[in-house]
Structure 1
Amino acid sequence: MKEFIPGKLYQQSMEKDSKKANGRFYTPDYIIDFMLARVFSNVNIIENPFIKILDPACGCGFFLIKAYDLLKEMLKSNLEKIREKYSDETYETNKDGYVIKINGKQYWQEKNLHYHILKNCLYGADTDKEALGLCSASLLAKDNNDYKDELNLVCGDSLFRWEKYYCREQLVDELENYKLIYDIKNSRDHTVEHVTRDRLKEILRNNMFWSNKFDYIIGNPPYVGHKELNMEYKKWLLDEYNETFKDKSDLSYCFYQRALEVAEDKGIIGFVSSRYFMESPTGRNLRRYLKNNSRINNIVDFYGETIFPGVGVAAAIFFISNEVDNNNEIEVWKYQGNGFNKLEHKDFQIFKINQDSITEDRWILIPNEERRILEKIENGCTKRLGDMAESFQGIITGCDKAFIIDNDTIKTLGIEAELIKPWIKNSHVDRYRVRNSNLKLIYSDLIDDPSRYPNSIMHIEKYKQRLENRRECKKGLRLWYQLQWGRKTELFTKEKIVFPYKSTCNRFALDRRGCFCSADVYSFILKDGVGCCSLPFLLGVLNSRLYEFYFKLFAKKMGKDIYDYYPNTVMDLKIPDYKACKDIEAISLELIRLYEEDADSKRISILEKEIDDILRSYFSIRKEALSLK
């Protein structure tokens, strides 16, 4: 199989910002090969040699080019049987620019396969004309036989329902007359559009293209976050795709709904996309839509492993079919390897879950044994952490060099003491304790009169130009010497539990020193009126091995062994009854002391095991089930 160099060069030449804005990222060959192999595994080319394959965001055509090779090989291998089965059928073909009719014996010849595949089987759409041009050139170059017809490639937004909002008869009638401007009806907006002849032809081509139903839809729909979307287009999506798209949704969500709309009954869809919708609040609509409107056949979850070079998108592959099956079992492949350039069974944990077991709250992809443990924990508690605690993020300075200093700098510059606050970052947060930090924060939001704090102002002023360029300063929301987001001082001065926003394991610490935290640290305090609970008790629960296991069952994985400890997820943890597990509090207080003293690890291990034993007993979980020794 020849490697398609022009398309790859085109992808590589695109600026990084342009790729991000348009959501265009090159799909590695081994991912394309894997997806096509899975999709084509149930193709019966003899029964249906006219299968329609669509890539709705085809770009340079990497999926279509490889699909061409697979189709041609399948057709060649079965050509004799196909010719025999359809020998008496009549087919149209293009010879020297003229459409002629021939019988099946003449049509089903190897020399005609190039024409057949391009004319009847491969369909691609994209908004990038240059990429489509490369796709077209690459497909045409697949065979030395000339292809005289138009390829099934259209330039336009695949999310627009061309087949629904334009009347083909009116478009055809309009084209019969030559005009400078044509008036065509758009039934979606109930308006009349004034377009040129070329635009009218483009609309007609899209209308005819999207009137097809497709047997297989495959590709890498663009990942475009809500911040990158044009405001008008976002409003249109919120209206047009209200079943799947919410205010902070990704553009790729809409492609799932659109694919199901244009797929044949029981048609197969294979998309590689961000896995984030399985867990995010804004993915709720899409989760509900897919569960209720499709049969989810297979999910290949890369579980935070990077598969797109240079792109920090946690991806998964979703194979679904256009049918509803309430008793369906989803085959899940969960990546367990250490980096790859091909997909092999040995690198995945493979298991099945019932489609009914996934909820719109969150898709948790775990084997049945782990699901039973999860259910014991969830059903054994009445309250979530968010019912008892209030979480908040650390401070965003907008320029750490201006506000974060060490003790030596404070002495040298004579920074005013009343502005100085203890400062910690992610690296200072350990299990049960906050490590000592030599860093301090100039909490400049306390400056009411700059003339009273000349030394602090003199230091901060070194970075004035950069500080003034902060968005909040440009909008007049913050003074140049203030912190970008200073939060409320009373939140930091209270006794609180702090934890890093990303970590390989549960790292919750009790802060009694009133540390101010950077943005890569989150904290929580007890809500007013919360009785029969304490921060040391919660600390012991959250740092337990059982709760680390529990958290990782549904936490978002950000990379190899790195998990996202975003408060939405942490606050969703169910917490056991305080009175029934009260002994954890005293053990936790002892662990705090031992960790602060760097005590013998053997004693620490014994106490931590005691907490796990209490929790396992409370939830009736066997020790062997978690391999907790």
Structure 2
Amino acid sequence: MLFHEKQTIIENCLFGVDINSNSVKICRLRLWIELLKNAYYKNTTELETLPNIDINIKCGNSLISRFTIDADLKQALKKSKWTIDSYRIAVDTYRNAESKEQKKEMERLIADIKSDFRSEISMNDPKVKKLRKLSGDLFRLTNQGQLFEMSKKEKADWDAKVKELTEETKKLETEIEEIKANKIYENAFEWRFEFPEVLNDDGDFIGYDVLIGNPPYVGITEINQQYKIYYETAFKTAKGRFDLYSLFIERAMQIKRPSGVFTYIIPGKFLNNKQFVTARKIVCENHGVTVVKIDDKVFEDAQVDSVIVENYPDKKAKYKAFKITAEELHKLSEVELSKITSDEELIFRLEMSAANEDLISKIKKDTVRVIDIGEVKDGIIAGRIKDLLFINKKLDKDCHKLYFGKQITRFHLANTEVWVNYKPKEMMAEEMKRIGNTGPGLRMRDVAIFEREKIIYRKVGKELIATLASKGVFYEQTIHSCHITDKRIKIKFVLGLFNSTLFKFYYRKTNSQGGDIFPQVRISSVENLPIKLADTKTQEKIETLVDQILTKKAQDHSADTTDLENKIDALVYKLYDLTEEEIKTVEKNIN
């Protein structure tokens, strides 16, 4: 019967963990309702009993564990009266308990089994082993008999050794006690032995066949400092300005079988953001990868583009990209995974084809990257003191007009009515008063990046939209800037390239947006743009055209400069040695 088929699947195949107890209750209820749909009467009055499937859906912090996945359980099994099989039987008996008394009895038994495992694994912890050895050494040293009285030197050496061992022992004891008492372990989830279904008879962790999840999207400024320190020691992906969902990806790779499949729905910025390089590398290791871009908004309360990222075992690893538009799935690309992994940043690009790849290679030929000739910098982030930092009038000499991304159009910067109260020390002091247990979100930036000529461009967008900014232009985080440090390169020449049709094509084809709701131009993407070291004459031709456009836009921001921009495009195509056919490919792909 369908009831028993569903029961078998739910009891033996579905397992879940969530830190939110209400989410856990809802999930359990949904599974019971699913069974109830097909429940039946065993006789005229007796309905088929629903199993206790709550043991399959547990509450806990998936990222916090006292014990590693490879912690030795064999020693615990040797010393314990329990076996993995008896653990499985206890769990199965709990699910199908015939009375409340039997259910409670199984709860106690399961708790005893897990308590035994915890105690025995703890005894094999490297810190505990080292403490036992040090304690033994100290005991022997201080309790051994002496046939002859020690000389002054021997006594001094003995005292020094006793002091050293005593200090090491006390230090280790303190560390172990701190771990035991640490509040972050209160809700720890022990993947190592919580589900006996993924352990073999020797207690080895086998892992899960399929992992499906929608991990939390929590930026580093929202993470409690104590947890942040733990994550940075426990996860390779917890580096720099990490987000919790990258840690969940790493955890998924740890707990799935080598032959298993992983599928998460996560923000689109994962595809190309520099801070997720390690996580993308982990996803690619010994696997094929599939990415699905979702054009429509998925979550009402989250202003992010969403993508589905999946990996699966594959000897001939492929990278596949799709998009979902109006509930229809469209294939975008399929290439060898090596096309992705050969790039040091492992960008998960969406649109890849042999023709475009050849053209991209040609554009990159004999160029330098922006990062080789300049600096790309982020803008001011207000943190928790926006009310003090961003103001509507000038108070003193430390106040400067503050510009936002919405004020930038190609070759033009509109006026702003906002001022920044640029007092870094004073503002940081105010930020620290408001942060609570998380780290400061305020980023004032070095004043030097504002007090220089630079190209500024919108952070939010599918392509570069840039203009020139003079010295003294301050900007917040919806703008990034590019300052040219190489004296051979004229800044207006680079601005012409940034706003050209060729760079629009190159940017779109080498960067994955992951959606259209909140696309962002990443700093690393701009740093890697290919700049031709053009001769002075060519640079001056483009510089002259850029000057003409800037002048027209300054007089009237809506002025039509199409002819001038087309002339820049022609010079850029020539500079990068594109053929007529290649120019048609570029213009076809951006229209």
Instruction: Please state which band the TM-score falls in when normalised by the shorter chain.
Output: 0.5 to 0.7
Question: What is the alpha-carbon distance in structure 1 between the residues aligned to residue 430 and residue 424 of structure 2?
Answer: 19
1:334 to 1:617, Cα distance in 2 relative to 1, 3 A: farther
Per the TM alignment, residue 542 of structure 1 is displaced from its structure 2 partner at its CA by 0.7
Per the alignment, residue 498 of structure 1 pairs with 456
Per the TM alignment, residue 427 of structure 1 is displaced from its structure 2 partner at its CA by 3.4
Per the alignment, residue 238 of structure 1 pairs with 232
Question: What is the alpha-carbon distance in structure 2 between the residues aligned to residue 248 and residue 166 of structure 1?
Answer: 33
Residues 1:541 and 2:535 aligned together: no
Per the alignment, residue 320 of structure 2 pairs with 331
Question: What is the alpha-carbon distance in structure 2 between the residues aligned to residue 276 and residue 241 of structure 1?
Answer: 20
Equivalent runs, 1:73-472 vs 2, <5 Å: 110=2, 112-141=4-33, 142-143=35-36, 144=39, 145-148=48-51, 151-159=55-63, 160=65, 164-165=70-71, 167=73, 169=77, 170=79, 172-173=81-82, 183-186=119-122, 187-188=124-125, 190-191=127-128, 206=194, 208-211=196-199, 212-242=206-236, 244-296=237-289, 298-302=290-294, 305-321=296-312, 323-325=313-315, 327-335=316-324, 337=325, 340=326, 343-345=327-329, 348=330, 350-359=332-341, 360-361=344-345, 362-368=347-353, 369-381=355-367, 383-395=368-380, 398-399=385-386, 404-405=391-392, 421-435=400-414, 437=415, 439=417, 441=419, 445=423, 470-472=430-432
What letter matches 1:392 in structure 2? K
Please list the CA deviations of residues 449-486 of structure 1 after superposition, one character each: whole Å capped at 9, or x if unmatched.
Answer: xxxxxxxxxxxxxxx9xx898315779xxxxxxxx766
1:111 to 1:503, Cα distance in 2 relative to 1, 3 A: closer
Q: Is the 8 A contact 1:245 1:285 kept in 2?
A: no
1:374 to 1:165, Cα distance in 2 relative to 1, 3 A: same
Question: What is the alpha-carbon distance in structure 2 between the residues aligned to residue 328 and residue 264 of structure 1?
Answer: 17
Question: What is the alpha-carbon distance in structure 2 between the residues aligned to residue 446 and residue 217 of structure 1?
Answer: 45
1:366 to 1:493, Cα distance in 2 relative to 1, 3 A: same
Q: Is the 8 A contact 1:163 1:207 kept in 2?
A: no
1:354 to 1:232, Cα distance in 2 relative to 1, 3 A: same
Question: What is the alpha-carbon distance in structure 1 between the residues aligned to residue 19 and residue 416 of structure 2?
Answer: 53
1:289 to 1:425, Cα distance in 2 relative to 1, 3 A: closer
Please list the CA deviations of residues 141-185 of structure 1 after superposition, one character each: whole Å capped at 9, or x if unmatched.
Answer: 313232446553344444546663362525555998989x97443
1:206 to 1:394, Cα distance in 2 relative to 1, 3 A: closer
Q: Is the 8 A contact 1:391 1:523 kept in 2?
A: yes
Q: Is the 8 A contact 1:380 1:576 kept in 2?
A: yes
1:132 to 1:525, Cα distance in 2 relative to 1, 3 A: closer
Per the TM alignment, residue 330 of structure 1 is displaced from its structure 2 partner at its CA by 2.4
Q: Is the 8 A contact 2:380 2:443 kept in 1?
A: yes
1:110 to 1:421, Cα distance in 2 relative to 1, 3 A: closer
Per the TM alignment, residue 254 of structure 1 is displaced from its structure 2 partner at its CA by 3.5
Per the TM alignment, residue 300 of structure 1 is displaced from its structure 2 partner at its CA by 0.3
Please list the CA deviations of residues 411-448 of structure 1 after superposition, one character each: whole Å capped at 9, or x if unmatched.
Answer: xxxx66x566555433332222323x26374766499x
Q: Is the 8 A contact 1:217 1:269 kept in 2?
A: yes
Question: What is the alpha-carbon distance in structure 1 between the residues aligned to residue 445 and residue 210 of structure 2?
Answer: 51
1:522 to 1:164, Cα distance in 2 relative to 1, 3 A: closer
Per the TM alignment, residue 404 of structure 1 is displaced from its structure 2 partner at its CA by 4.1
Per the TM alignment, residue 220 of structure 1 is displaced from its structure 2 partner at its CA by 1.9
Residues 1:596 and 2:554 aligned together: yes
Is the partner of 1:570 in helix, strand or coil?
A: helix
Q: 544, 569, 576: which is aligned to 1:612?
A: 569
Question: What is the alpha-carbon distance in structure 1 between the residues aligned to residue 188 and residue 517 of structure 2?
Answer: 53
1:261 to 1:589, Cα distance in 2 relative to 1, 3 A: same
Per the TM alignment, residue 562 of structure 1 is displaced from its structure 2 partner at its CA by 5.1
What letter matches 2:549 in structure 1? L
Q: Is the 8 A contact 2:71 2:192 kept in 1?
A: no
Is the partner of 2:409 in helix, strand or coil?
A: coil
Per the alignment, residue 99 of structure 1 pairs with none
1:488 to 1:214, Cα distance in 2 relative to 1, 3 A: closer
1:274 to 1:495, Cα distance in 2 relative to 1, 3 A: closer
What letter matches 1:302 in structure 2? I
Please list the CA deviations of residues 269-323 of structure 1 after superposition, one character each: whole Å capped at 9, or x if unmatched.
Answer: 2221233332222211122222223222x210226x53111112332112211x3
Q: Is the 8 A contact 2:17 2:58 kept in 1?
A: yes
Q: Is the 8 A contact 1:495 1:525 kept in 2?
A: yes
Further displaced range: 581-590 or 141-150? 141-150
Question: What is the alpha-carbon distance in structure 1 between the residues aligned to residue 189 and residue 230 of structure 2?
Answer: 24
Per the TM alignment, residue 380 of structure 1 is displaced from its structure 2 partner at its CA by 3.8
1:267 to 1:538, Cα distance in 2 relative to 1, 3 A: same
Q: Is the 8 A contact 2:70 2:192 kept in 1?
A: no
Please list the CA deviations of residues 4-47 of structure 1 after superposition, one character each: whole Å capped at 9, or x if unmatched.
Answer: xxxxxxxxxxxxxxxxxxxxxxxxxxxxxxxxxxxxxxxxxxxx
Unaligned runs of 5+ residues in structure 2 are 40-47, 84-107, 129-175, 182-186, 200-205, 436-441
Per the alignment, residue 93 of structure 1 pairs with none
**What root-mean-square deviation, in Å, do the aligned CA atoms of Structure 1 and Structure 2 show?**
4.2
Q: Is the 8 A contact 2:253 2:282 kept in 1?
A: no
Q: Is the 8 A contact 1:556 1:564 kept in 2?
A: no
Per the alignment, residue 14 of structure 1 pairs with none
What letter matches 1:439 in structure 2? E
What letter matches 1:152 in structure 2? N
Question: What is the alpha-carbon distance in structure 1 between the residues aligned to residue 261 and residue 58 of structure 2?
Answer: 21
Q: 574, 578, 583: which is aligned to 1:623?
A: 583
Q: Is the 8 A contact 1:162 1:207 kept in 2?
A: no
Question: What is the alpha-carbon distance in structure 1 between the residues aligned to residue 259 and residue 389 of structure 2?
Answer: 60
Is the partner of 1:494 in helix, strand or coil?
A: coil
1:250 to 1:324, Cα distance in 2 relative to 1, 3 A: farther
Question: What is the alpha-carbon distance in structure 1 between the residues aligned to residue 496 and residue 304 of structure 2?
Answer: 33
1:426 to 1:401, Cα distance in 2 relative to 1, 3 A: farther
Question: What is the alpha-carbon distance in structure 2 between the residues aligned to residue 612 and residue 497 of structure 1?
Answer: 19
Please list the CA deviations of residues 45-99 of structure 1 after superposition, one character each: whole Å capped at 9, or x if unmatched.
Answer: xxxxxxxxxxxxxxxxxxxxxxxxxxxxxxxxxxxxxxxxxxxxxxxxxxxxxxx
Per the TM alignment, residue 523 of structure 1 is displaced from its structure 2 partner at its CA by 2.6
Unaligned runs of 5+ residues in structure 1 are 1-108, 448-463, 476-483
Per the TM alignment, residue 332 of structure 1 is displaced from its structure 2 partner at its CA by 0.8
Is the partner of 1:164 in helix, strand or coil?
A: coil
Per the TM alignment, residue 132 of structure 1 is displaced from its structure 2 partner at its CA by 2.8
Question: What is the alpha-carbon distance in structure 1 between the residues aligned to residue 409 and residue 247 of structure 2?
Answer: 41
Per the TM alignment, residue 507 of structure 1 is displaced from its structure 2 partner at its CA by 2.2
What letter matches 2:377 in structure 1? F
Per the TM alignment, residue 543 of structure 1 is displaced from its structure 2 partner at its CA by 0.9
What letter matches 1:495 in structure 2? E
Question: What is the alpha-carbon distance in structure 2 between the residues aligned to residue 123 and residue 332 of structure 1?
Answer: 29
What letter matches 2:417 in structure 1? L
Q: Is the 8 A contact 1:171 1:204 kept in 2?
A: no
Is the partner of 1:269 in helix, strand or coil?
A: strand
